[in-house]
Structure 1
């Protein structure tokens, strides 16, 4: 069991590294650029270390999951991500609302990763 987790971890790291080097990234979501934060939600996320960490984690999990699943499931994950972003932005400057939105999205993406771990990405 630990061996398969190690393999998943190595694959995940390789995918993150590969995605960082790839100019043709299929993902339509990346972490916030706090220098360009324009909405109340974005400014709140950028000013709160914990929310910033949640943003980075969700962005990483999103990138991993969309690169490890089949095209049909990828579309569902992308649709769910767009819905999450609308929900996140609707929170405005309410940090509690933002934390709840990130926690829910993190849980969804973790469930996808658990499914991949159990059956493999192929």
Structure 2
């Protein structure tokens, strides 16, 4: 029940105040995919779903944390994008990369939830 309330609150907050550079991390525009990794993600349904989940978690977490932590999350995202792109066309590498990043962002959300009540 607590997660439902947190998710609803997060969606409301995210829709009101997304970070200024959130567009850099929004789900891929497959019409503009350039790198081998981006083209591979766009061509694989499961990776596309992982991209959407990661982008949603990124937007929500950066809208719910203080400015210092937001900067850290954004820096980590930039580093992650470089490591993700280094996977190229390797599906296994891309899947693992997304799994790690999603887990990191879920841990941030769990930290926020642990400071309730909501």
Q: TM-score w.r.t. structure 1 length?
A: 0.87
**Number of residues paired by the alignment?**
115
Q: CA deviation at 1:10?
A: 1.3
Q: Give yes or no for the alignment of 1:63 onto 2:59.
A: yes
Q: CA deviation at 1:13?
A: 2.0
Q: Give yes or no for the alignment of 1:9 onto 2:7.
A: yes
Q: 1:50 aligns to what?
A: 46
Q: 1:25 aligns to what?
A: 20
Alignment partner of 2:30 out of 17, 22, 34? 34
CA distance in 1, matches of 2:88, 2:54: 18
| Unaligned ranges ≥5, structure 2 | none
Matches within 5 A, 1:43-122: 43-120=39-116
Q: Which runs of 4+ in 1 moved over 4 A?
A: none
Q: CA deviation at 1:7?
A: 2.0
Q: CA deviation at 1:46?
A: 0.1
CA RMSD of aligned residues (A): 1.5
CA distance in 2, matches of 1:10, 1:71: 22
Q: CA deviation at 1:29?
A: 1.5
CA distance in 1, matches of 2:48, 2:69: 27
Q: TM-score w.r.t. structure 2 length?
A: 0.90
Contact 2:14 2:63 in 1 (8 A): no
Deviations 1:74-94 (CA, angstroms, capped at 9, x unpaired): 111001100110001000010
